[in-house]
Amino acid sequence: MRHFLGLADLSSDEVWQILNLAVDLKKEWLDGGNRPLLQGKTLALLFQKPSLRTRVSFEMGMFHLGGQAIYLSPNEVQLGKRESVADVARVLSRYVDGIMARVFAHSDIEQLAAHSHVPVINGLSDYNHPCQVLADLLTILEKKGRLEGLRLAYVGDGNNVAVSLLFGGTKLGMEVALATPPGYEITEDVENLATAFAEESGGFVDLTYEPLEAVAGADVIYTDTWTSMGQEEETRKRLKLFPPYQVNERLLAASGKDDVIVMHCLPAHRGQEITDEVADGPHSVLFDQAENRMHAQKAVLALLLGGQ
């Protein structure tokens, strides 16, 4: 693993390697602190999109492992505008030991990796969000004790989080159901890839327009914001189409399972894609997910920068 750009690039064994290391690093941290596996290492945090969780989880992850992080704001670098993506990669990789980038276009991540001499980590792109889904898989593993054979139902926009959930879940033998409004589905290419992964692992892909159908028998119900950053001009249209996909008490009951857990990658627009009663209720693991961003990413950092 030279870079971490997406879960589709990894074998199931490599995904498990990351998750198992994340479990160990979290336990080590809770038991008194992590070993300085990244002593003397520096990670550049390159942002086109701002984020609470991505910045703080990576900064604290590097701190826990004995390294440091340098935050580069959207205005400082202006990736691809003030300077080409390739040149930014060439320059930064002369200064630091790794680059985490949170961008709009996935092609920017790919260009950074192509021209960087140090590992590049995808902190988010419009195509996928692999760091988030590593944290999600870690959280499900903690709550359920396994991943294989579980049904994960995602309800809402077929966005970057949905793509990574499909890839990560099907790599590890999960049954992944997606309920999206017509016109907001995943692409055919993503469906084909996920189906191929499911055939290898014993997982399953279930695509539907009906949220109640998707959540039937679900062990995990997942949602995300209806309008992602950069889509603000679509807000009014989406607010008319997405209300049937709200995760509320009725949708939870439709799972038929008392121990169903509810996930959201945050930030949540309460009263839209999820209600307060669910977000703050006994089935919610929203803030465990948020914490696990740090632990899952520490495993990626240790493997890429520390040679674990």
81: confidence class by pLDDT, cuts 50, 70, 90: confident
pLDDT confidence band for 125 (50 / 70 / 90): very high
The average confidence (pLDDT) of the chain is: 96
Among 93, 47, 102, 96, smallest CA distance to 67 is for: 96
Pick the catalytic residue from 53, 55, 102, 295. Answer: 102
**Secondary structure class of 50 (helix, strand, coil):** coil
Q: Check residue 208 and give its pLDDT.
A: 98
- 7-129+293-305 has which CATH code? 3.40.50.1370
Among 11-15, 225-229, 261-265, 291-295, the minimum mean pLDDT is found in: 225-229
Give which of 197, 207, 142, 208 is closest to 174, Cα–Cα: 197
Q: Which of 132, 246, 272, 297 is catalytic?
A: 132
Q: What percent of the chain has pLDDT over 70?
A: 100
pLDDT of residue 228: 77
The dihedral sign for the CA sequence 63, 68, 74, 76: positive
Choosing from 108, 126, 219, 224, the catalytic residue is 224
Q: Which residues contact 29 (CB under 8 A, 6 or more apart)?
A: 64, 295, 298
> Is residue 265 annotated as a catalytic residue, yes or no?
yes
Single out the catalytic residue among 55, 64, 293, 295: 293
122: Cα separation from own chain's centroid: 10
The per-residue pLDDT for range 224-253, each reduced to its tens digit, is 999 877 778 788 899 999 999 999 999 999
Domain boundaries defined on the chain: 7-129+293-305, 132-289
Answer with the residue of higher pLDDT: 149 or 74. 149
Distance CA 43, CA 138 (A): 23
Q: What is the mean pLDDT of residues 243-268?
A: 98
> Is 293 marked active-site?
yes
User: Is residue 44 scored above 90 in pLDDT?
Assistant: yes
Active-site residue, from 157, 264, 265, 272: 265
CA separation for the pair 36, 245 (Å, rounded):
44
The two domains 7-129+293-305 and 132-289 share their CATH topology (first three levels equal)? yes
Indicate the range of 65-69, 165-169, 187-191, 227-231 predicted with least confidence. 227-231
Residue 104 token pair: 């709009």
Residue 223 confidence (pLDDT) = 98
**CA-CA distance, 191 to 214, in Å (whole number)?**
16
User: Taking 90 as the threshold, does the pLDDT of residue 258 lie above it?
Assistant: yes
User: For position 231, what pLDDT does the model report?
Assistant: 74
Told to judge if 111 belongs to the known catalytic residues of this protein, a careful annotator would answer no
Write out the two tokens for 290: 């948020």
Is 224 assigned a catalytic role? yes
The pLDDT of residue 191: 98
Counting Cβ atoms within 10 Å, is residue 65 exposed (0-12), middle (13-18) or buried (19+)? buried
The pTM of this model reads 0.97
CATH code for residues 132-289 = 3.40.50.1370
Tell me if residue 295 is catalytic: no
pLDDT reported for residue 173: 98
Please state, in angstroms and rounded to a whole number, the distance separating the CA atoms of residues 217 and 194: 20
